[in-house]
Structure 1
Amino acid sequence: MPSTLVHVALALLLAAALLGEEFDGRAALVVAAATVLPDLDVALEPFISGAHRSVGHTFLFPALLLAALVWDARRRDRSHLRSRFGDRGVRLAFVAVACIFGAAIVPDLVVGGVNAFYPLHDAFITVDGRLFYSTDRGWVQTFVDLSPPEPSEPSEPSQPRTTENFRFRTVLDAEPTLGVEDSGGGGSGEPQRVERLFPVAMTGFRAWLLPLSAFVTAVRLRRA
């Protein structure tokens, strides 16, 4: 899954593009902090099964924030956000919400999936597929199945992933992993060693995003 650092890297690139000359150190901190918020639902795992990628990754989270910002911004002179931080603060708030959705939630939606409408609808959803043009087959996409259903023998429908039957592995998990042998050796009954993973970049593409984002952010901050 994309690490929190990858999410922040995407958010900084997005904010640098949307804010332009208004992108400075304070804006970078606000955007980074906002982007980290969804991943904090991992702390709720000991109390709510399947909380990670559910509580903080639901589309309702940025939707409610956006509704609150729109309501406050339309109050013009009575806007609490505008009166305290000015028009720049309002724009930064909208960009922060955009980063929560576009840089924190959507990357997880396409890698493993998220509980997109939790708690209204408890089901993990994954958007994955391919889109390409073939000289033999023309345009091909596998994101949405548009083929007509084929008659077949009735079978039991697959069980959807919910918070009751599915959870993502997190750094809080302490379970033996592949390649870990019994520390006692020979079935002594002693507890096995465990491995906790703190992901940084699990693919080459994500690894490239980190220095790319650092470079763009540094250039923008120097200009600011």
Structure 2
Amino acid sequence: MAPTLLTAALGALLAAALLGPAFDGRSVAVVVAAALLPTLDAAASLAIPGATNALLHNLWLPLALAGLLHWDTALRDRSALRERHGWRGVRIGWVTLAGFAVAGVAPDLFGDPGVNLLYPVENAYYVVDGLLLFSTQDGVVQTFVSTAGDGPGLLPLESTGTADARPIGTWVNPDGRPGLALGVEREFVVVDAGWQAVVVASAVASLAVRFRPWERVRSSTAASGDAGEASR
């Protein structure tokens, strides 16, 4: 499972990039919370076999949420979300879904041991693995799409085993199996690669830059109000 700090940082970057005029502290917190939501299946694995990277990492949940959002905001005559929260609610809703799927699920899909995409229909972890490069001798080399055989096919989605044969350990549940193991070593990974530290630093810098203009507006508004009160 990807480090929790990395997941939160990716959610913060999406919030800074996509919220637009809806950006504020509360909306950022909502998006980051949605990005962290899939990590809760590690705690669920204490009671549910094979829940890690499966229970909240599967394909069905984001598809269902996307379908519900699209139906409510685009197909219905009167959108319940728009009527209650206005355009901000719609914007935050879609960015929150992106935080869940892109920041919460995708990092585990693109790295070992993968994600149980079809859970509970199928009990198998999948990982996306591919290569794209330019060689001075071979030209463009990529392994994402293959034209071999009868037609094009997607190759990077590879199975890495099943939950029964390969339980995923986390700091909450080190052995990945049901039951609370006492007396075992637990390691909470902050970052486990240099590029992850870069992502975290980028998220902190992005939020700092996005919040500063709002603080200046608030300060100038407050100053104008104080000046108006003084002139009276």
Please confirm whether the aligned pair reaches a TM-score higher than 0.5, indicating the same fold: yes
Tell me the amino acid that sits aligned with residue 37 of structure 2.
L
CA RMSD of aligned residues (A): 2.4
Partner of 1:212: 202
Distance 2:58 2:24 in 1: 29
1:165 corresponds to 2:155? no
Distance 1:24 1:172 in 2: 32
SS of 1:37's equivalent?
helix
The structure-2 alpha-carbon separation of the partners of 1:74 and 1:147, relative to structure 1 and needing over 3 Å to count, comes to closer
1:199 corresponds to 2:200? no
Partner of 2:142: 141
Tell me the amino acid that sits aligned with residue 115 of structure 2.
V
CA drift at 1:101: 1.1
Tell me the amino acid that sits aligned with residue 200 of structure 2.
L
Partner of 1:74: 74
How is 1:46-125 mapped onto 2 (pairs within 5 angstroms)?
A: 46-74=46-74, 78-112=78-112, 113-125=114-126
SS of 1:119's equivalent?
coil
The structure-2 alpha-carbon separation of the partners of 1:128 and 1:79, relative to structure 1 and needing over 3 Å to count, comes to same
SS of 1:78's equivalent?
coil
8 Å Cα contact 2:6-2:196 kept in structure 1: yes
SS of 2:125's equivalent?
coil
Unpaired stretches in structure 1, ≥5 consecutive residues: 149-158, 176-192
CA drift at 1:164: 2.2
Identity of aligned residues (%): 43
Distance 2:190 2:160 in 1: 29
Unpaired stretches in structure 2, ≥5 consecutive residues: 150-158, 176-182, 215-232
Distance 1:128 1:78 in 2: 43
Structure in which a larger fraction of residues adopt helix? 2
The structure-2 alpha-carbon separation of the partners of 1:174 and 1:138, relative to structure 1 and needing over 3 Å to count, comes to closer
Tell me the amino acid that sits aligned with residue 73 of structure 1.
T
Tell me the amino acid that sits aligned with residue 19 of structure 1.
L
Distance 2:174 2:130 in 1: 32
Q: Which moved more, 1:22-31 or 1:114-123?
A: 114-123
8 Å Cα contact 2:45-2:173 kept in structure 1: no
Q: Which moved more, 1:77-86 or 1:36-45?
A: 77-86
Distance 1:19 1:91 in 2: 7
Distance 1:59 1:160 in 2: 17
Q: TM-score, normalised by structure 2?
A: 0.78
CA drift at 1:64: 0.8
SS of 1:132's equivalent?
strand
8 Å Cα contact 1:2-1:206 kept in structure 2: no
8 Å Cα contact 2:46-2:173 kept in structure 1: no
1:132 corresponds to 2:122? no
CA drift at 1:106: 1.0
8 Å Cα contact 1:76-1:82 kept in structure 2: no
